[in-house]
Amino acid sequence: MAIDQVCGMEVDERDAEFMTHVEHETFYFCSKACQECFEERAGIRKSGPAKWWQRILKEPKDTPPKCH
Ligand SMILES: [Zn+2]
């Protein structure tokens, strides 16, 4: 099991829907809200080339996490 770095929930990486690759690490999240929060904190969405998940994510970036 992986740990959601935003809220601390356990996430099963085998059927994880929300994940972000940073450098050589993969982070898993319980919800898109947590994923966006992580990316916001990591500064991923502010710089760097567009990644596949940036094209998929279309929600406002300032939405706070409301995963559970
Ligand atoms: Zn979460």
Location of structure tokens 């998929």:
56
Question: What pLDDT does residue 50 have?
Answer: 59
Encode the chain (68 residues) as per-residue pLDDT tens digits. 999 999 999 999 999 999 998 888 899 999 999 999 998 888 776 555 556 666 666 655 566 677 87
Decide if 18 contacts 5 (C-beta within 8 A): no
Ordered by start, the domain boundaries in the chain are: 2-56
Please give the distance, rounded to the nearest whole angstrom, from the Cα atom of residue 8 to the centre of ligand 1. 7
Please give the distance, rounded to the nearest whole angstrom, from the Cα atom of residue 5 to the centre of ligand 1. 8
DSSP-assigned letter for residue 15? G
Please give the distance, rounded to the nearest whole angstrom, from the Cα atom of residue 39 to the centre of ligand 1. 13
> What is the signed CA dihedral for 26, 35, 37, 51, rounded to 10 degrees?
70
Residues pairing with 26 in the sheet: 21
